Amino acid sequence: MASLKDLKNRIASVKSTQKITKAMQMVAAAKLRRAQEAAVAARPYAERMTNVLASLGAAYADRPDAPALLGGTGKDQVHLLVVATGERGLAGGFNSSIARLARETATKLLNEGKTVKILTVGRKGNDILKRGFADKIVETVTFREVRTLGYTNAQSVGEKILAMYANGEFDVATLFFATFKSVIAQVPTALQLIPASFEKAEANSSVTYDYEPDEEAILNDLLPRNISVQVFRALLENSASFYGAQMSAMDNATRNAGDMIKKLTLVYNRQRQAQITKELIEIISGAEAL
């Protein structure tokens, strides 16, 4: 059984941990609002671009002269998995849920005889995936020193993906991230970037548009930009999801620390009372012996 001094030290240690988790919860709550506003503000632009590309790309469906980013290479052998996670931990299952979806996808593709390459965006994704897929990771991009994520950060990732595609390094690219729903709900999401997939786009067939320049020129300009736009949206969704998950995790940790303090204090008081009782019995026994 632990001594009173050990119990006292443990109580003090848990109280210090509780202060840290409470402070982290408050910081995450303060940053969550701004991150959530940025993520929500980016959704209409990304969705609108998807709808425009879907409308333009419908005319090139199954055509041999379709733009490369729309029609693809015609093969489905080499897959690039772009896994976007956080740079830090202490956020519950946020990072692990994204990595799990990517890991399941990679395993399924490998079982089908496909070739898998992984581009990790964020340090934690690389740390998790390198345990089982170290030989599949081709590059890791981190933004640990970046205080505020901007479009230029996403553009650098988009340019890497486009450069790899231009060099014929993969046939299909899929982006993995977490879609922010609420503080307690972040949904792991897989979005196919190349060839562009617009299955969920809602085209308004009752409206006809005339484009200037022609559809092909607009597609050739928008399709590469759409890669960076979708990556930027993923980074913003991840940022909001991270702070939401961290806020929830730190709240749970603070509550657990409080429960542990109560239990340790109860044990401490009982042991202290037992020690006092033992000393009183020894004093009384000694007095009676005299």
How do residues 3-55 score in pLDDT, each as one tens digit?
A: 888 888 999 999 999 999 999 999 999 999 889 989 998 888 888 888 888 77
Query: Given this model, what pLDDT does residue 210 score?
Result: 67
Same domain, yes or no, for 236 and 203? yes
Question: 108: domain CATH number?
Answer: 3.40.1380.10
243 domain residue, yes or no: yes
Model confidence pTM above 0.75: yes
Same domain, yes or no, for 68 and 184? yes
Residue with the bigger pLDDT between 2 and 232: it is 232
How do residues 139-195 score in pLDDT, each as one tens digit?
A: 898 888 777 788 888 999 999 999 999 888 999 999 999 999 888 889 999 998 888
* Distance (Å, whole) CA 175 – CA 191: 5
Same domain, yes or no, for 119 and 255? no
Boundaries of domain holding 281: 4-20+251-289
Same domain, yes or no, for 147 and 276? no
29 domain residue, yes or no: no
Of 26, 51, 46, 242, whose CA–CA distance to 149 is shortest? 242
How do residues 114-150 score in pLDDT, each as one tens digit?
A: 999 999 998 898 899 988 888 999 889 888 877 778 8
Residue with the bigger pLDDT between 203 and 213: it is 213
Same domain, yes or no, for 8 and 60? no
